[in-house]
Chains A and B, each alone.
Chain A
Amino acid sequence: MNLTFEIQSSIFANYSNNAFYISNKYYTYKDFSQIISNIRSTIKKSAKKTECFVGLITNDDIHTYASIIALWLEGKAYVPLNPEFPLDRNLSVIKQANIVTILDSSSEKTFSSFNSIMTKTLSDSEVDLTPVEISDNDFAYIFFTSGTTGTPKGVPITFGNLSGFIEAQWALNYTITENDRCLQMFELTFDLSVVSYLAPILKGACVYTIPKDEIKYSYIFELMEDHELTYSLMVPSILHYLRPYFDEINCPSMKFSLFCGEALPLDVTEEWSKCIPNATIANVYGPTECTIYCMDYTYKRNSENKTHNGVLTIGKNMLNTSTIIVDDDNNEVETGKEGELCLSGVQLTPGYWKNEKKNKQVFFDKHHNGKNTRFYRTGDLCCADKDGDVLYLGRVDFQAKIQGFRVELSEIEFHVKATLNKMNAVAVAFTNSIHNTEIGLVIESKPINTKELLDNLNEKLPKYMIPTQIKFADSFPLNSNGKTDRNKLTKLFTK
C-alpha cells in the first residue's frame, strides 16, 4: 500500500464531499486540498530538505489537520505539541526530536525561538497533492508518552507501520464509506486521533471534531444526535460520564462504535448497546508502540461475551500482528496461564527514540513460527483461553491509564520528590465513584500546605497527570516483601 498516494486519490475522488466539521463549520475536500497545498508550498520554501521531524501545535482547526497531510506529502513526520502542556515538557520533546520548524495555526506564535510557519495566514498557491517518494522506513510521526525517569519517551512510527495498521483496520470490516460521519474526539497528542482522522480521509467521509472549550461527553452526544454520526472510536471513560443520561440517548444512525485505551466493562457496554440499537460495538486494544491498535473483539448482542472481573476480552490479534504470552524469561506460558502480553509484526515501532536502555528492556528477539521474530513486552498481564481470545488482567508495573492517557506513576513521584525536599511520596491510581480512574498522592508526613507542590507539578506535567487528591500518612505501610504497600495506600482514596 502506498499511503500518501491513497490520501491524494481519495481527496480528489471526493472533492465536493465534506471532509471536516469543526466548531460548527464544514470544510469540503476541495477546501482541505487548498489549505494542504498552501502549507506544503511554505514547508518547501521554509524547511530544509533534511529536516525529518516538524513540530505541530495541536489546535482544533482545519489548518492543523491540513498540516499533517502537507508534511506527509513532503515525506516528513509530525511531532504533536499541545500548547496547553507545560513549557518544560514541550521543550524536552522539541529537544529530543531535534525540531527546528514548527507549524502553528494560532494567531500568535506559541514558541518564539523556533522557525514557526503560521499556517492560518498563508496565501493561496496552486493545488499540488502529488506525494514525494517515501520508503516504508521513513517516519510518519513521533508521539511522546510518560516516561519513568521524569523525561517523556518518544515512540516513532514509520509509514510502513501506519500502512500495516490501515491494512489491518480495513480487514476488520468495520466499513467506512464516503457517506459516513465519523467522530474524532482525541487530542492530537494521543495516537487514537490518527485513525480517527486518517480512516475517514482515506474513504472520503466527514470527520467531526470536539472544540477544546466544550465538555467532551455532552458535546459528543449532541454531535451523535444532531449530525447522526455513523462511526465512533471513544475511550470507555466517556461512557462512564454518559451513563447517568443513557435513557436520553437514542442514536439509530450509529453503525460502528469502537472503544480503546482503557478496560471496557461488560455491564456499561450492554446498557450502551441500547442507546445505539443498530451499531456493531467493538473493543480494540493496542499500545502506541504497535501503531494505534492491533487486537480486536466484536461485542455480541444477545449472547455470552467473555470477561474477566467484568471487563470485556480484548479478543484476537488483527491481520498484521502476532501475539504471545510469556513468563519472566520470555518463554510462552500454557493456554489459560497468566503472563505478559507480547506483540510483533509490521505495526511494531523500530524502537524508542534515542533510548537504547529502554529498548533493551522491552524489545526482544525470539524464535517464533519458524523464524526469528522481534517482540515488544506490553507490560500488560494477560491470559488466553482455548479459543485464543486474550483477557486483560492488569499491569505488571506502575503504569495507569487516565482517560486513555498512559501515565507512569513514578514520573509523578519523581517530580513530587524533586519539590518536597527528602519527603517520601507515592502516587496511586484509584477508581472513583463513577468508575473512572483518578490519581491520588500520599505524602509521608504530617499535613503540609500543598499549593507550592501543585504549582510546581503544573509547570512540569500535563493536566491529566496532576493528582486530584492528596493525603498524608505518618509512615507508609509495608507489605510482606518489605516494600511500600501500594494497595493499602490506594485504599485511602476508595473508602
Chain B
Amino acid sequence: METLTIKETISDVLESILEHNNFEMHDELTAKDVDGWDSLSHMIIITKIEEAFNIKFKLRDLNKLKNMGSLVSVIQNKI
C-alpha cells in the first residue's frame, strides 16, 4: 500500500477518535504534538488502526512507534 494511502487511513482514525483534525501528517509527528493523544486514547487509537488495516501489532512493535514515520513503516511491514 502507498505511504500516502496509509497516512490518509491513519489520519481518518485519529480524526474519528480525537474529534478534531488539527494536526499535519508529517513523518516527525508524535503523540505529544496532537491534542488528546495521551496514554488513555493511545490504546483505542492503536486498536482502531489494527482494525483499519486488518493487522495486529506485537507488544514489541508498540515501543517502536516513536513517530508517524515509524508507525507507517511498521504498518507497511505487516500488510
Contact A214 B40 (CB under 8 A): no
Q: How many A-B residue pairs have CB under 8 A?
A: 32
Contact A434–B58 (Cβ < 8 Å): no
Report A-chain residues with C-beta under 8 Å of the C-beta of B59. 218, 221, 242, 245, 248-249
Chain A residues in 8 Å Cβ range of B38: 463
Determine whether the beta carbon of B63 is less than 8 Å from that of A219. Answer: yes
Is A222 on the interface with B (CB-CB < 8 A)? yes
Known contacts A248-B58, A463-B38: A434-B43 contact under CB 8 Å: yes
A463 to chain B: which residues have CB within 8 Å?
A: 38
Taken together as a complex, chains A and B put the C-alpha atoms of A215 and B38 apart, in Å, by 10
Chain B contact-residue range equals 10 to 19
| A468 close to B40 (CB less than 8 A) | yes
- Partner-B contacts on A (CB < 8 A): 213-216, 218-219, 221-222, 241-242, 245, 248-249, 403, 434, 436, 438, 463, 468
Interface residue? B41 (CB, 8 A): yes
A-B contact sample (18 more), CB < 8 A, given A215-B63, A248-B58: A215-B39, A215-B62, A215-B65, A216-B39, A218-B59, A218-B62, A219-B63, A221-B60, A242-B59, A245-B58, A245-B59, A248-B60, A403-B39, A434-B43, A436-B40, A438-B40, A463-B38, A468-B40
Residues of B within 8 A of A215 (CB): 39, 42, 62-63, 65
Q: Is B41 a contact of A214 with CB atoms below 8 Å? A: no
The proximity string for B residues 30-61 relative to A, scoring 1 for CB distances below 8 Å and 0 otherwise, is: 00100000111111000000000000001110
- A403: chain B residues at CB < 8 Å are 39
CA distance A436 to B39 in the complex (A): 12
Q: Using CB atoms and an 8 Å cutoff, list the residues of chain B in contact with chain A.
A: 32, 38-43, 58-60, 62-63, 65
CA–CA, A99 and B70, complex, Å? 43
Closest to A246 in B: B59
A residues near B43, Cβ cutoff 8 Å:
241, 434
Q: Which A residues lie within 8 Å of B39 (CB)?
A: 215-216, 403
Q: In this complex, what residue of B is CB-closest to A433? A: B44
Q: Which residues of B contact A434 (CB under 8 A)?
A: 43
Chain B residues whose C-beta falls within 8 Å of the C-beta of A438 in the assembled complex:
40
The secondary structure that dominates the B interface is: helix
Closest to B30 in A: A213
* Chain B residues in 8 Å Cβ range of A221: 59-60
The 3 A-B pairs with the shortest beta carbon distances in the complex, nearest first, are: A218-B62, A245-B59, A218-B63
Alpha-carbon distance between A361 and B40 when the two chains are bound, in angstroms: 34
Residues of chain B lying within 8 A (CB to CB) of residue A436: 40
Chain A residues within an 8 Å CB radius of B62: 215, 218
Closest to B40 in A: A468
Q: Is B41's CB under 8 angstroms from A468's CB?
A: yes
**Once the chains bind, are B58 and A214 in contact (CB under 8 Å)?**
no
Cα(A221)–Cα(B57), bound, Å: 14
State in angstroms the CA–CA spacing of A216 and B40 once bound together.
Answer: 11
B40 A222 Cβ-Cβ under 8 A:
no
In the bound complex, how far is the Cα of B40 from the Cα of A353, in angstroms?
Answer: 32
Centre residue among A215, A221, A434 by max chain B CB count within 10 A: A215
A377 to chain B, nearest CB (A): 31
Distance in angstroms from B25 CB to nearest chain A CB is 20
Expressed in whole angstroms, the Cα–Cα distance for A468 and B37 within the complex equals: 11
Q: Which residues of A contact B32 (CB under 8 A)?
A: 213
Residues in A with CB closer than 8 Å to B58 are: 245, 248
Bound: A245/B59 CA distance, A: 6
Between A214, A241, A242, the greatest number of chain B beta carbons within 10 A of the residue's beta carbon is seen for A241
| Nearest neighbor of B31 in chain A, beta-carbon distance | A215
